[in-house]
């Protein structure tokens, strides 16, 4: 594309009038969940008996009989048709990261020459999508393509446009999970059981523990016109080349700055639609990098929060286009400026309203608080490599370890107050912790914890797993990832830690020890054990890398090797014991992750090669010819000595272009060779390793020279929109 055309595109796109969102006077409380089949709507559209049964299914996980399912389907259909729905779909989360759906109309023959709208319990509860094109990691070969999707009543159905969307799990005919939701629900159940049992040491009336998740979604917006002229953005979601803009985020003037009008319009529109779909949007702001923004809802139960995040991501992409933008969810769309993550704020709470990761007023509350914090640290300590595996991907690998994102080593920051409390607890001996007082034969004297631990000042942005007052914030999750992957690991690991904790406490109690004393004893042991994961310092520093290795933490940085943690003995043991994933399912998951990893790099490398040879080199050559031409002409006009002086700069440019161009051409060939060799490998893991070790580094090497050429070649000729053009929405 010529530069003139490039600027036409820019001009056109930038001059586009913002789409006005009707300045509505309706309050969010009035339109919230308008398109969701909430309990309120169930009450209205279902017979009383059916409503009661459904509540039991949702709250207590009892099974649904077909008769009830039929009645529920009938009520849902009536409600959905009033909103204009004509179709329904099972909506699931295959291991490809996005969501999948296949729409079926409500219509059926009435056998009198006409049609009727029908929707049965059977269609609601279970469907059999042709599953052969979804990744299964070898669990389900194509000739036995059967997989089925089954309704998850815990996540309410909703209507988008003309379709009733039914959240479902997706499993193979032989029962193995082929999605994220099935194991996530099992992990949530495991942590519920383990945490309920431990909570009962402190509060007898606890019946259930809920896992809560509040994600913060970061994203970039770019102008649609510019996006369309960048084949790399279009095909891979990131720019594979592009020199830094002279101004980017050095001035820190974007973060929390005022939101550009066009973007504000987009946000309003997006939030309205999200609220109507029951996503409790709360916070919006500019992020650190230019054109980077964030949306965060109020936290919800983890299963629902994950569904809402998946829904929001697809909504963002659609609404962005309406406003002349493209929404980039890639973790690192632009080099040299911040990437995008999805911080996952996670905590446990009882059905009686107690935040288990939050301090309380009494010594008992505080011992409970410390127990849950320490056992969470135990989980993170034991499975740091697996947690890293749950968030690593070809795209997130560009973000991790860079100086603005979580480091590639999992550690936990607790803040000064909590660190001091743990230290004191570890050092003080038993006799000082307990004293006899009043009626209670035993009272605890653990250090007082101020209720205002929830202060925002005590923060460490370099920590991937930070305690923030009454929850942990897992910051390493990537912007476009399904956060279920991380939540499956975290909840299962904490379930395991709490189960182990309880077993050890019970053993002491059986041996005659007082329960509280036994708890304190085990907590103190665990504070010592998990110490290596606790780190208050600068996670970006080189000293930390060395220190972490000394502490025995997982310091691996190669994505395919990190992924191996899915099938490490401790992972297999944990997942099978907690009944979340079988060994076969884990091996399948690993294979899918490896394949996804190298395929992404494969696509990037192909597009990169094409851009080098068909876009960059021809333009560089054309500009070089112009310079050569100029040198000749100058020579014709001026005496030799003057000509030489006048052409010195151009001669140097000609030489630089030659050097960069020959490097690019030579290495583009090497890139193709590296791909060819990698593609020949049979084993998926070996292939992923080869792509990581040999293909990806070549692209980095070549990019350096392309970015240099961008600075040299006439701006008029340069074929791709530049960072400075893409990154500043006006």
Q: Judged by CB under 6 A, does residue 345 bind ligand ADP?
A: yes
Indicate the residue whose CB is closest to Mg ion: 216
- 326, 471, 589, 692: residue in contact with ligand ADP (rule CB under 6 A): 471
In the list ligand ADP, Mg ion, none, the entry touching 333 (Cβ below 5 to 8 angstroms by class) is none
Residue 346 Cβ, how far from ligand ADP at the closest point, in Å?
6
Instruction: Point out which span in 51-59, 210-218, 243-251, 633-641 binds Mg ion (CB under 5 A).
Output: 210-218
For ligand ADP, the closer CB: 147 or 464: 464
DSSP 692: I
Instruction: Point out which span in 26-34, 335-343, 373-381, 617-625 binds Mg ion (CB under 5 A).
Output: 335-343
Q: How far is CA 323 from CA 23, 162, 261, 296, 423, in A?
A: 16, 22, 11, 21, 53
Residue 216 Cβ, how far from Mg ion at the closest point, in Å?
5
DSSP 92: E
> Helix (H, G, I), strand (E, B), or coil: what is residue 470?
coil
For ligand ADP, the closer CB: 208 or 635: 208
Residue 280 Cβ, how far from ligand ADP at the closest point, in Å?
8
In the list Mg ion, ligand ADP, none, the entry touching 158 (Cβ below 5 to 8 angstroms by class) is none
Residue 381 Cβ, how far from Mg ion at the closest point, in Å?
24
In the list Mg ion, ligand ADP, none, the entry touching 92 (Cβ below 5 to 8 angstroms by class) is none
Residues with Cβ within 8 Å of residue 236, at least 6 apart in sequence: 330, 600, 603, 604, 607
Residue 421 Cβ, how far from Mg ion at the closest point, in Å?
25
Residues 209-268 that bind ligand ADP (CB under 6 A): 212, 214, 216
Closest CA to 105 of 159, 157, 163, 158: 163
- 176, 216, 287, 591: residue in contact with Mg ion (rule CB under 5 A): 216
Q: Which helix (H) or strand (E) holds 80?
A: helix 66-82
Q: Which two tokens stand for residue 523?
A: 């907590």
In the list Mg ion, ligand ADP, none, the entry touching 597 (Cβ below 5 to 8 angstroms by class) is none
- 38, 120, 314, 355: residue in contact with ligand ADP (rule CB under 6 A): 355
Query: What is the CA 582 to chain-centroid distance, rounded?
Result: 24
Asked whether the beta carbons of 212 and 348 are under 8 A apart, the reply is yes
For ligand ADP, the closer CB: 249 or 345: 345
Q: How far is CA 672 from CA 395, 478, 604, 666, in A?
A: 21, 29, 12, 10
Helix ranges (H only) for 203-292 are 224-228, 231-236, 261-276
Q: How far is CA 33 from CA 23, 40, 75, 274, in A?
A: 19, 10, 17, 9
Q: Judged by CB under 6 A, does residue 694 bind ligand ADP?
A: no
Q: Beta strands of 40-118 (E only): which ranges? A: 87-92, 100-105, 107-109, 115-117
- 295, 296, 612, 627: residue in contact with ligand ADP (rule CB under 6 A): 296
Q: Judged by CB under 6 A, does residue 299 bind ligand ADP?
A: yes
In the list Mg ion, ligand ADP, none, the entry touching 183 (Cβ below 5 to 8 angstroms by class) is none
Tell me the three-class secondary structure of 479-533, residue by residue.
Answer: CCCCCHHHHHHHHHHHHHHHHHHHHHHHHHHHCCCCHHHHHHHHHHHHHHHCHHH
Largest CA distance in the chain: 109
For Mg ion, the closer CB: 64 or 306: 306
DSSP 476: -
Indicate the residue whose CB is closest to ligand ADP: 214
Q: Judged by CB under 6 A, does residue 470 bind ligand ADP?
A: yes
Owner of token pair 């490039």: 6
Give the Cα separation of 523 and 427 in Å (integer). Answer: 12
In the list Mg ion, ligand ADP, none, the entry touching 212 (Cβ below 5 to 8 angstroms by class) is ligand ADP
In the list Mg ion, ligand ADP, none, the entry touching 129 (Cβ below 5 to 8 angstroms by class) is none
Binding-site ranges for ligand ADP (CB under 6 A): 212, 214, 216, 283, 296-299, 343, 345-347, 355, 470-471
Binding-site ranges for Mg ion (CB under 5 A): 216, 343
């Amino acid at each position: 594309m010529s530069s003139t055309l490039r600027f036409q595109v820019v001009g056109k796109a930038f001059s586009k009038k913002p789409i006005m969102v009707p300045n509505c006077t309706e309050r969010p409380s009035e339109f919230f969940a308008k398109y969701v089949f909430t309990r309120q709507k169930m009450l209205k559209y279902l017979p009383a008996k059916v409503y009661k049964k459904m509540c039991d299914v949702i709250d207590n996980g009892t099974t649904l009989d077909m008769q009830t399912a039929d009645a529920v389907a009938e009520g849902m259909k009536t409600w959905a048709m009033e909103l204009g729905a004509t179709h329904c779909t099972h909506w699931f989360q295959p291991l490809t990261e996005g969501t999948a759906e296949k729409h079926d109309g409500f219509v059926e023959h009435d056998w009198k020459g006409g049609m009727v709208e029908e929707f049965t319990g059977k269609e609601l509860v279970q469907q059999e999508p042709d599953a052969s094109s979804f990744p299964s990691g070898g669990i389900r070969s194509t000739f036995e393509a059967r997989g089925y999707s089954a309704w998850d009543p815990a996540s309410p159905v909703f209507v988008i446009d003309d379709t009733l969307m039914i959240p479902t799990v997706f499993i193979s005919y032989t029962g193995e999970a082929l999605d994220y939701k099935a194991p996530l629900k099992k992990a949530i159940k495991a942590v519920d059981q383990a945490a309920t049992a431990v909570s009962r040491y402190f509060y007898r009336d606890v019946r259930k523990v809920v896992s809560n998740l509040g994600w913060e979604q970061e994203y970039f917006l770019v102008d649609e016109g510019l996006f369309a002229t960048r084949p790399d953005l279009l095909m891979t979601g990131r720019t594979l080349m592009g020199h830094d803009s002279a101004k980017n985020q050095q001035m820190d003037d974007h973060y929390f700055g005022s939101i550009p009008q066009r973007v504000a319009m987009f946000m309003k529109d997006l939030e309205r639609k999200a609220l109507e779909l029951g996503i409790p949007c709360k916070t919006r702001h500019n992020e650190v990098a230019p054109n980077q923004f964030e949306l965060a809802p109020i936290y919800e139960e983890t299963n629902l929060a994950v569904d809402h995040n998946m829904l929001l991501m697809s909504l963002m992409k659609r609404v962005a286009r309406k406003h002349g933008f493209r929404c980039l969810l890639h973790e690192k769309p632009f080099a040299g400026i911040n990437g995008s993550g999805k911080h996952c704020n996670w905590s446990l709470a009882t059905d009686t309203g107690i935040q288990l990761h939050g301090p309380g007023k009494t010594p008992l509350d505080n011992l409970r608080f410390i127990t849950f914090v320490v056992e969470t640290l135990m989980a993170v300590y034991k499975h740091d490599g697996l947690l890293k595996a749950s968030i690593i991907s070809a795209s997130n690998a560009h973000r991790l370890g860079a100086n603005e994102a979580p480091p590639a080593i999992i550690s936990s920051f607790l803040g000064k107050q909590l660190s001091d409390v743990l230290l004191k607890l570890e050092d003080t001996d038993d006799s000082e912790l307990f004293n006899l007082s009043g009626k209670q034969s035993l009272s605890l004297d653990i250090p007082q914890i101020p209720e205002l631990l929830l202060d925002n000042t005590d923060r460490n942005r370099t920590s991937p797993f930070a305690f923030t007052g009454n929850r942990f914030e897992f910051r390493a999750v990537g912007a476009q990832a399904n956060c279920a992957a991380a939540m499956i690991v975290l909840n299962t690991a904490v379930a395991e830690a709490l189960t182990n904790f309880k077993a050890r406490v019970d053993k002491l109690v059986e041996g005659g020890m007082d329960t509280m004393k036994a708890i304190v004893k085990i907590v103190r042991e665990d504070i010592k054990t998990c110490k290596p994961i606790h780190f208050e310092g600068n996670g970006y520093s080189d000293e930390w890398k060395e220190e972490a290795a000394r502490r025995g933490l997982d310091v691996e940085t190669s994505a395919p090797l990190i992924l191996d943690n899915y099938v490490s003995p401790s992972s297999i043991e944990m997942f099978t014991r907690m009944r979340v994933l079988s060994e076969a399912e884990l091996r399948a998951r690993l294979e899918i992750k490896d394949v996804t990893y190298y395929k992404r790099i494969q696509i990037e490398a192909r597009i990169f090669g094409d851009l080098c040879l068909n876009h960059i080199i021809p333009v560089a050559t054309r500009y070089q010819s112009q310079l050569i031409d100029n040198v000749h002409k100058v020579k014709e006009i001026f005496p030799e000595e003057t000509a030489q002086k006048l052409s010195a700069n151009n001669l140097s440019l000609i030489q630089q272009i030659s050097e960069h161009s020959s490097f690019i051409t030579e290495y583009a060939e090497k890139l193709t060779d590296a791909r060819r060799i990698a593609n020949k490998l049979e084993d998926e893991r070996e292939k992923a390793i080869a792509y990581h070790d040999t293909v990806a580094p070549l692209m980095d090497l070549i990019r350096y020279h392309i970015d240099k050429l961008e600075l040299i070649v006439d701006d008029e000729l340069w074929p791709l929109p530049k960072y400075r053009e893409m990154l500043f929405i006006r």
